[in-house]
Amino acid sequence: MSVCSEKRTPCRNTSHALLRKRRAYGLITGVVLLFLLVLASLALGSRTIALRETFNALQNYDPQNDLHLIVRELRIPRTLVAVLAGLALGVAGAIMQAITRNPLAEPGLLGVNAGAAVAVVTGMTLFGLTTMQHYVWFAFAGAGLAGITVFFLGQAHLSGTNPVRLVLAGAGLSIVLASVTGIIIVNSPLTVLDQVRHWSAGSVEGRGYDVVAILAIAVLIGVITAAALAGNLNAIVLGRDMGEALGVNIRLTWIIACCAVMLLAGAATAAAGPVGFAGLVAPHIARMMTGPNYRWVLPYSALFSAILLLGADVTGRIIVPPSEIAAGIIITLIGGPFFIFVVRKYRLNKL
């Protein structure tokens, strides 16, 4: 008879030790990779800057040096927006997968990004809004309304365990909202069309410190809210009945979680455009590294999603220099195959 069958405690201790080691290695690897990507983001672009000069721009800033200006005024805020937006999308995706018990849930697939996008484009066209300080509120409202619509169309409040119904509702609403967005853009003045063109592809190019400030505040509030819900999310993923048996207020948790998703996804979409799949991929990688405990899944999802979006932005700069490919397009190329992999893994073949 094996040691595990005779005495389960040593096996459980070994399993916990391996899990802790995997979490530690994953965290160290993720932080190091993010740090390297930050350096690459500051140094690489249409004009490559040596690392020595990059560090010099950070430590001994000379406003007369054009290389220092590029680093301080263009690449630092761009890098911060990519990291913060990725972090927000990762946490939002993890929350949505928990409350719907749906491995395919994420802001892009469930129409949240599309709702924020159509609201932002409407604000730009009808009200002449040009800065994030103004149209971010439209993004929050659009994300919230789209999310609520999908949840009720897919009956997620009654049957969140049915992933196909929810994905179909999100896909249908996303198509409708994308059509509305296209109609608005086509009938907009050329100035609005030019403004929306890069944003709608999911680009962080040209973002300034004003965008960083608003995004940072929204992300801070959203992440704190998500962290406070981590224990309840662990209960909800076990099922509605089990969650209630454990004393969790399901309705209140849903409301707070949806507000957090609206805040995170709305701010990220306003800052970086409708970026898809980042919130889908990151939580799955996080669970592979940490297990199902959402006290670990949430921070790891934030870390890996930030790596994904920043890595996509850096990759988009170096593929066809001096031109750029938007980060949202790069992530779609990665996320599409991953989406198919998840569908096959979970065998989502029943309506």
pLDDT for 11: 60
From the list 91, 87, 85, 53, the residue with the least C-alpha distance to 69 is 53
Domains and CATH numbers, the chain: 23-346 (1.10.3470.10)
| 109 vs 131: CA distance, rounded Å | 26
At 76 the pLDDT is 95
Residue 19 class from Cβ within 10 Å (0-12 exposed, 13-18 middle, 19+ buried)? middle
Whole-number pLDDT of residue 12: 61
Residue indicated by tokens 């994300």? 143
> How confident is the model over 65-77, as pLDDT tens digits?
999 999 999 999 9
CB-based burial of residue 195 (10 Å sphere; 0-12 exposed, 13-18 middle, 19+ buried)?
Answer: middle
Residue range 129-135: average pLDDT? 77
Give pTM, 2 decimals.
0.88
Above 80 in pLDDT, residue 24? yes
DSSP letter at 49 equals -
Residue 117: per-residue pLDDT: 85
Per-residue model confidence (pLDDT) at position 163: 58
From the number of C-beta atoms within 10 Å of its C-beta (0-12, 13-18, 19+), residue 226 rates as buried
The residue with greater pLDDT, 273 or 197, is 273
Q: Give the pLDDT mean for 48-72.
A: 91
Contact call for residues 177 and 113 (beta carbons, < 8 A) = no
Res. 255 pLDDT band, cuts 50 70 90: confident
Secondary structure (3-state) at 350: coil
The runs of H, that is alpha helices, within the chain are: 3-6, 8-43, 51-59, 66-69, 76-100, 112-127, 132-153, 156-159, 163-186, 190-200, 209-236, 240-245, 250-272, 278-290, 294-318, 327-346
Asked if residues 348 and 163 have their Cβ atoms less than 8 Å apart, the reply is yes
If one counts every other C-beta atom within 10 angstroms of the C-beta of residue 193, the result is: 15
Amino acid at 254: W
